[in-house]
């Protein structure tokens, strides 16, 4: 699109806005009719560990949303000399799962408990047994049931439970809804009806009745919507909440709010069968769209859906780059102490690239980036840990290589179940997220971890905010009965350029050797958790 076409699209509301609430950043992306980004804005934030709970304050949600939107609208004004008064469609996405419970007046009943918490072990185990369906600790229903098991008095007062994306959508539209992919991280979805599984809802209601809870589950969960559905419109109060300047007009349609897993699938065009994507940042998860159901229940594998309702096997690791980022920050302190001026992006690039020259297996070094618990390896708490033996090859290249390997260690253990035990067939895997920002490095190590080609699209850096913007565009522009996969194939990704790397045999062998050490050393991580108070 040329400049005049872009200005016309902005003025006439032919754009789509996507906002994603990530673990460390809230990002807003505005796209044009050709789905290319026109402007963006962001706000850095961090979860807090308060009273034994990983949480975000809800005021930070609105501070960050307004700041990221303000930055985006200023970018539009500066670049195109136009105020942003209307938008074709809007979508919100966020970290999946967690616990946000409200009373009948809309007041929050307990601090927001994020996906990162691993405090719901008894509830997750009991529900998995009751449903004969894997319920991970981070799922919303596990948090709800654990609160019930704990006898928390607020449970009887709950009138609505949702996710972060669902909360923001509710406040801006008045609609208590979720996209099916996001909903599948609250409670199991029946892929035939594209709604909550009725049998399991009934089983849960029996537990509620036994505890004398004065409501039933279906009364407090958001309604489930498919991609492209009408999810309401921006109310006058919602418009002022998003844009306190009053420039943005109400009445803008919204797409169903989705989770970061769903937006990752959309952003990488991996919503069809036999496709997969890996999103790697603060946490890491792999999503493989299945042809057939798995042979049995696996506690390491989550069953969710695409935004179009197709079944997906999800391997999720709580810990990916957080500890690695902390080490890079330590190196930044060192360069600052030397008086060396080096941008953050250049420092990451230099250190990541150094890892390519390390020994194939990391030189005998070992690391665990467990800043929090890790359910795949059965840790309720984590202790970041670096270990070496006297004869390990302790070099910067090996140090960085091992930390990049370790970021994928728990993920690999979960993927082994799908790729080896279940023989799941995958035609393509696409990578996105901060782990892939440095050219070749993250992509090459991911290919070694999954022993399959990994592609990164040119648009991968836009991430989930672009993915939810695409879902907003799909809500705005899709033809009648046009499937999401078809829309992405023919309207968004046709002609897109990307880079595909096949696994290097030496890297594959080196990663396998590292994983043998990783599994053996879990006892060290266990001892650290037991010996060092969190």
Least Cα distance to 379 among 121, 99, 134, 113 occurs for 121
Q: Indicate if 396 and 518 belong to the same structural domain.
A: yes
CB 532 within 8 A of CB 383: yes
Sign, CA dihedral 431-306-46-20, equals positive
In a domain, 299, yes or no: no
What is the distance between the alpha carbons of residues 200 and 206, in angstroms, rounded to a whole number? 10
In a domain, 235, yes or no: no
What's the total number of domains in the chain?
Answer: 2
CB 407 within 8 A of CB 436: no
In a domain, 38, yes or no: no
- Residue given tokens 């930044």 in the structure block: 332
pLDDT at site 50: 94
Torsion (CA) 152, 153, 157, 158 in degrees, nearest 10: 0
What is the distance between the alpha carbons of residues 186 and 127, in angstroms, rounded to a whole number? 13
Token pair recorded at residue 490: 């023919």
What is the distance between the alpha carbons of residues 145 and 127, in angstroms, rounded to a whole number? 8
CATH of the domain at 206: 3.30.420.40
Q: Indicate if 211 and 327 belong to the same structural domain.
A: no
pTM over 0.95: no
* Segment 412-466, tens digit of pLDDT: 999 999 988 999 988 888 888 889 989 899 999 999 998 888 998 776 556 789 9
In a domain, 54, yes or no: no
C-alpha R_g of the chain: 23
In a domain, 118, yes or no: yes
pLDDT at site 462: 61
Chain centre distance of CA 318: 10
Rounded to 5, what percent of the chain is helix, strand, coil? 45, 20, 40
Q: Indicate if 400 and 519 belong to the same structural domain.
A: yes
In a domain, 194, yes or no: yes
- Is 189 buried (19+), middle (13-18) or exposed (0-12) by CB count in 10 A? buried
pLDDT at site 495: 77
Q: Indicate if 196 and 339 belong to the same structural domain.
A: no
pLDDT at site 534: 67
pLDDT at site 464: 87
Answer with the one of 220, 238, 262 that is the final residue of a domain: 220
In a domain, 149, yes or no: yes
pLDDT at site 494: 86
Domain span including residue 346: 322-406+506-531
Q: Indicate if 206 and 351 belong to the same structural domain.
A: no
- The list of the chain residues with pLDDT below 70 reads 459-462, 534
Q: Indicate if 374 and 517 belong to the same structural domain.
A: yes
What is the distance between the alpha carbons of residues 432 and 400, in angstroms, rounded to a whole number? 20
What is the distance between the alpha carbons of residues 408 and 299, in angstroms, rounded to a whole number? 18
All residues at 6 or more sequence positions from 211 whose CB lies less than 8 Å from its CB, including other chains? 148
Q: Indicate if 102 and 216 belong to the same structural domain.
A: yes
CB 27 within 8 A of CB 72: no
What is the distance between the alpha carbons of residues 136 and 124, in angstroms, rounded to a whole number? 6
Token pair recorded at residue 235: 């109310």
Answer with the one of 220, 240, 266 that is the final residue of a domain: 220
pLDDT at site 375: 83
Answer with the one of 170, 205, 220 that is the final residue of a domain: 220
Q: Indicate if 328 and 216 belong to the same structural domain.
A: no
Bridge partners of 454?
Answer: 429, 501
In a domain, 439, yes or no: no
């Amino acid at each position: 699109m040329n400049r005049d076409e872009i200005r016309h699209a902005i003025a006439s509301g032919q754009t789509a806005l996507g906002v994603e609430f990530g673990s460390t950043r809230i990002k807003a992306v505005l796209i044009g009719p050709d789905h290319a980004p026109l402007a963006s804005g962001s706000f850095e934030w961090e979860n807090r560990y308060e009273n034994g709970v990983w949480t975000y304050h809800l005021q930070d949600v609105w501070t960050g949303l307004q700041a990221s939107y303000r930055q985006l609208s200023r970018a539009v004004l500066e670049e195109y000399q136009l105020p942003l008064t209307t938008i074709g469609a809007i979508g919100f996405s966020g970290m999946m799962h967690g616990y946000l419970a409200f009373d009948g007046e809309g007041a929050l009943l307990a601090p927001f408990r994020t996906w990162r918490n691993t405090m719901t072990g008894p509830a997750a185990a009991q529900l998995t047994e009751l449903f004969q369906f894997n319920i991970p600790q981070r799922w919303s229903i596990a948090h709800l049931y654990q609160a019930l098991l704990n006898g928390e008095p607020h449970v009887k007062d709950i009138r609505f439970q949702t996710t972060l994306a669902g909360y923001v959508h509710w406040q801006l539209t008045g609609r208590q809804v979720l996209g099916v992919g996001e909903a599948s991280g609250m409670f199991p979805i029946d892929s035939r009806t594209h709604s909550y599984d009725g049998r399991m809802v009934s089983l849960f209601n029996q537990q509620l009745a036994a505890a004398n809870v004065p409501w039933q589950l279906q009364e407090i969960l958001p309604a489930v919507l498919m991609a492209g559905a009408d999810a309401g419109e921006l109310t006058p109060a919602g418009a002022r909440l998003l844009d306190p300047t009053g420039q943005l007009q109400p009445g803008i349609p919204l797409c169903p709010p989705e989770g970061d897993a769903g937006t990752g699938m959309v952003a990488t065009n991996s919503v069809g069968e036999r496709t997969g994507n890996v999103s790697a940042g603060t946490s890491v998860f792999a999503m493989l769209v299945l042809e057939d159901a798995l042979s049995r229940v696996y506690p390491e594998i989550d069953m969710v859906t695409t935004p179009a309702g197709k079944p997906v096997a999800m391997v999720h690791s709580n810990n990916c780059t957080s500890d690695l980022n902390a080490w890079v920050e330590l190196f930044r302190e060192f360069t600052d102490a030397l008086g060396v001026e080096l941008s953050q992006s250049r420092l990451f690039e230099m250190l990541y690239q150094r890892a390519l020259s390390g020994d194939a297996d990391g030189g005998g070094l070992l690391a665990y980036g467990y800043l929090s618990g890790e359910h795949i390896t059965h840790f309720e708490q984590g202790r970041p840990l670096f270990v070496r033996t006297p004869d390990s090859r302790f070099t910067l290249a090996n140090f960085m290589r091992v930390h990049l390997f370790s970021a994928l260690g728990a993920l690999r253990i979960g993927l082994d179940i799908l790729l080896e035990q279940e023989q799941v067939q995958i035609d393509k895997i696409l990578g996105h997220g901060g782990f892939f920002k440095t050219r070749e490095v993250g992509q090459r190590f991911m290919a070694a971890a999954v022993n399959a080609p990994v592609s990164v699209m040119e648009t991968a850096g836009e991430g989930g905010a672009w993915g939810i913007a695409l879902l907003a565009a799909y809500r705005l522009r899709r033809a009648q009965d046009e499937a999401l996969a078809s829309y992405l194939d023919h309207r968004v990704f046709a002609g897109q350029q990307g880079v595909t790397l096949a696994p290097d045999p030496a890297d594959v062998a080196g990663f396998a050797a590292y994983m043998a050490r990783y599994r053996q050393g879990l006892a060290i991580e266990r001892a650290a958790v037991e010996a060092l108070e969190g």
